[in-house]
A and B are shown apart, each in its own frame.
Chain A
Amino acid sequence: MAERAADPTWGVLAEFASPTALYRACEQLRDAGFTRWDAHSPFPVHGLDRAMGLRPSRLPWVVFGGAMLGAAGGLGLQWWTSTVAYPQVIAGKPHFSWPAFVPVTFELGVLAAALACVLGMLHFNRLPRLHHPIFRSARFEGVSDDRFFISIEAADPRFDRNATLGWLTQLGATHVELLDDEG
């Protein structure tokens, strides 16, 4: 209780004037070994992954798995319905006339891949999350318009209230503010 009252800080939010300034600051933060931090921009800034030292997204594997499951499920459905559940001879073809099953197999593979893609993206991003401490900043509304930010969480082991704030200003932040946690 006392501890919470002592430090309700969620983290710090620093604003930068341009993608270039943001990029430069991200490189510095990466090299300084920060872990729980993020950059925010109205559009994906090209190359920022590298400046932040992010590993490539694992999403392709999720999508691949989804596609395979969907296609296998689709083919399985057609195999089962036309040989086990409801075997009919149609146009003199064998029960499991697989060439005729290709279109639906493909389409179901695509459907499952697309669902895996969007849901996987949301899962990796921990979205939907309608509220977040960062939204407490009034300036942050500009993040979807023309502003660029870096946020560092207080939970980051390298976070030091005063030093980090001053350092961000030195890195070229035009505005720095502390944000409270939801508590």
Chain B
Amino acid sequence: MSQQPTATELSLNLDEPVDQRPPLLLGDNSFRGITEAVCRPVEWVPPRGWYIFFGVSLALLGVLVLSTAYLFYMGTGVWGLNNPVGWGWAIVNFVFWVGIGHAGTLISAILFLFRQRWRTSINRFAEAMTIFAVMCALLFPTIHVGRVWVIYWALPYPNQMGIWPNFRSPLLWDVFAVSIYGSVSLLFWYMGLLPDLATLRDRAKSQLRRVIYGIFALGWRGSHRHWQHYERAYLILAAISTPLVLSVHSIVSFDFAVSQLPGWHTTIFPPYFVAGAIFSGFAMVVTLMTIARTVFGLEHIVTRRHFENMAKVMLLTGSIVGYAYAMEFFIAWYSGNPFERFVFLNRAFGPYAWAYWIMVTCNVVVPQTFWFKRLRRSLLWLFIASILVNIGMWFERFVITVTSLHRDFLPSSWDYYSPTFWDVCALVGSFGLFFTMFSLFVRFLPQVAMAEVKAIVPAAHVDHATLHPAAPHAATLPPVPGAPAAPGAAPAEPLATPASLPQEA
């Protein structure tokens, strides 16, 4: 709280100081200014760039729809799967997308619990990313089952066949973990949106907008009796989302780790997967945010300081991932298990060495550049690095899945797996789904949690120093307060001592 700069400092401080912590928000950060800046993209006719972006996304979504229709018609034979490699791009894409989602929950929940207030500028955006990423993730296990029309057999429901799902299977844990993760993220996101939907309702110019935003705002009226329960609910949701997000990617890693296959059967997988998920998710937030803040003019709310912090998280999680790669190799050697050793040597020097080294370059080398402050603060480098990291993280899942499978215990069944046109279509199409949802989100919903950002600006704090010297006389019905009919501004009380001034200048 003491690091909050004063209002005058903020309005002057367009250039961030080097040796002291830069402010969380720059420029016009009056309450009205924040509302205007965040609502503008929702209320104005979007720029031409939005239409182009939305059009391209929609076209890619079309690719997804067509390729999925073809897949359902023909069967999974249209993909490049072969006999040893029974899990291909579908599972790779699934893990990739779930992982991306995790940064959103980390930002909204874990950073909230740690009182990292810089999160307020990016949490809405990151939560939206989570939801869309989980939608993409859920798509792949659904379409990869072959007979998709009976996918509901994975759910425990009384049926005429008299059978129930096998709850000992990590694949079933996955059904629960990912769908519940999606549901809880959606609840968390929607609850966070309530006050901002009320803002859009109150600002609506047309009756249609007023009614639609009004219905979704559920009649929110900023009541403090409501805020009290609301803040408690927010805290609780953050507290339960934190173990949830850790459990979800642990369970995703169980898909591999619980099997008996060398390369998959390792206890390091849960923490390693969780770190990788946060790593890739932050990279995706950086990629998207770099574009969105420029297109929608939110540079003063999402500042370089936010990017620098995200770079630090990427450095940390990228280093954990690098450590995990090294530890896998160490254990492969240390275990003395010839199969284990073979798999890892094959991974780094076998037919898929190219994929392995792409992965190492992108995930281990690239984040190490974030030790340098200048690179952490270079938006161009961050943008490039974030894309490289996501390429690397996709390849990580590819390497884990395919290199462990393609040379199994019986050399006569070894094979080389390559994707087909339809594999590529599914991956590219899933980006279409993701970006279509994102375009709609930035068009119709506030990208920044206004109520939360307002709560961290200096003017939001109650100035107890000026309050309390004057307050002690407990009021009965008609008391005579110190300053009758004064417009209630903070320095209304003459008793304010100089020591009380730093909060509000």
Name A residues whose Cβ lies closer than 8 Å to a Cβ of B.
Answer: 16-21, 23-24, 26-28, 31-32, 38-49, 52, 54, 56-57, 59-60, 63, 67, 77-78, 81-82, 85-86, 88, 90-91, 93, 97, 100-101, 103-104, 106-108, 110-111, 113-115, 117-118, 120-122, 124-125, 127-132, 134-135, 140-146, 149, 158, 163, 166-167, 169-174
Contact = CB atoms under 8 A, between A and B. Distances in A.
A59 B163 CA distance: 39
Given A103-B176, A104-B167, A146-B31, A114 B222 contact: no
A49 B247 CA distance: 35
B231 A44 contact: yes
B221 A90 contact: no
B233 interface: yes
B319 to A, nearest CB: 28
**Looking at chain A's contact residues, is the secondary structure mostly helix, strand, loop, or mixed?**
helix
A131 B184 CA distance: 28
Interface of B: 30-32, 35, 156, 162-168, 170, 172-173, 176-177, 180, 183-184, 187-188, 190-191, 195-196, 198-199, 201-203, 214-215, 218-233, 236-237, 240-241, 243-244, 247, 251, 254, 450-452, 454-455, 459-464, 466-467, 470-471, 474-481, 483-490, 492, 504
A143 B241 CA distance: 30
B240 A100 contact: no
Contacts of A125: 223, 225-226, 229-230
Given A115-B187, A130-B215, A132-B219, A43 B455 contact: yes
Given A146-B454, A170-B484, 20 more contacts: A20-B463, A20-B488, A23-B462, A28-B479, A28-B481, A40-B224, A41-B224, A57-B228, A103-B177, A104-B176, A110-B244, A114-B184, A125-B229, A130-B219, A134-B221, A144-B195, A170-B480, A170-B481, A172-B485, A174-B488
Nearest to A24: B467
Contacts of B187: 114-115, 117-118
A24 B224 contact: no
Contact of A101 (B167, B452, B455): B167
A48 B470 CA distance: 17
Contact of A91 (B168, B454, B460): B168
